[in-house]
Amino acid sequence: MKRLSGLMAAILIAVFALATSTHAASRADVEKQFRAWIENDIWPAAKAEGISKKSFDRAFAGVALNWKLPDLVPPGEKPKKKKKQSQAEFSSPGPYFDEKRLSQLANNGRVYAGAHARLLKNIEKKYGVPGEIVLAIWGRETGYGKAKVTASEMDVLATMAFMGDRKELFHKELMAALTMVEQGTDPAKMKGSWAGAMG
């Protein structure tokens, strides 16, 4: 009887181990799948878009999964229930257009317009974008450079394209980032937010 109960316990342990191992991959397994995905899926897609192997390798040097990002769905896991978006673009516009905040941005904008008049004029001449528009975007999106954007956008975009809940969107964004690298942008300087915003 003891042998039978010992055998039963061993079988139950083996079944439990098998069941749990098929549901969720370990981080190490996911990292391996990520590396394989970069080489087997992203490289052919990038090559088809005209990205050179040199630019591709430069862009992905040191790229790692960012496990801190929200809404990740690692391979083998089911998507979690979607959380309500907390970004300003997805909520009531009132705080976004707060008169006091906009007034402060406008005052600062006047100062920066004077300080960077020549640069803004050169940008308009070269790219056709009015300096006032560049200034407005700079102020609204970064508080004239005061917002700290420290996330590696290559890490963010690759992570979200691999296991985010909006893979298709971030795949396109990743291809656009690779095009920027191909055109000469240093991937180490591509910093932004956890949501992929960069500027």
> What DSSP line would sit under 115-163, residue for residue?
HTHHHHHHHHHHH---HHHHHHHHHHHHTTTTS---EEHHHHHHHHHHH
Could you give the CA distance from residue 86 to residue 84 in angstroms, rounded to a whole number?
6
Could you give the CA distance from residue 158 to residue 174 in angstroms, rounded to a whole number?
6
> What is the SS3 assignment for 93?
coil
pLDDT one-digit tens code per residue, 95-106: 767 788 888 888
pLDDT at 42 over 60: yes
Could you give the CA distance from residue 187 to residue 33 in angstroms, rounded to a whole number?
23
Could you give the CA distance from residue 127 to residue 113 in angstroms, rounded to a whole number?
18
Instruction: Please give the single-letter amino acid code of residue 7.
Output: L
> What is the SS3 assignment for 192?
strand
> What DSSP line would sit under 36-54, residue for residue?
HHIIIIIHHHHHHTT--HH
Nearest Cα residue to 187 out of 68, 54, 72:
54
pLDDT at 38 over 90: yes
pLDDT one-digit tens code per residue, 141-187: 788 888 777 788 999 999 999 999 889 999 999 999 999 999 999 99
Tokens representing 199 are 């500027």
Could you give the CA distance from residue 130 to residue 113 in angstroms, rounded to a whole number?
12
> Is the CB of residue 24 less than 8 Å from the CB of residue 76?
yes
Name the more confident of 149 and 20.
149
Name the more confident of 60 and 192.
60
| Residues written for the chain | 199
- Across 1-5, 26-30, 64-68, 182-186, least confident range: 1-5
> What is the SS3 assignment for 60?
helix
Mean pLDDT of the chain: 82
pLDDT one-digit tens code per residue, 70-123: 889 888 887 776 665 555 555 666 676 778 888 888 889 899 999 999 999 999
- The CA distances from residue 44 to 51, 151, 177, in Å, are 9, 26, 15
pLDDT at 16 over 70: no
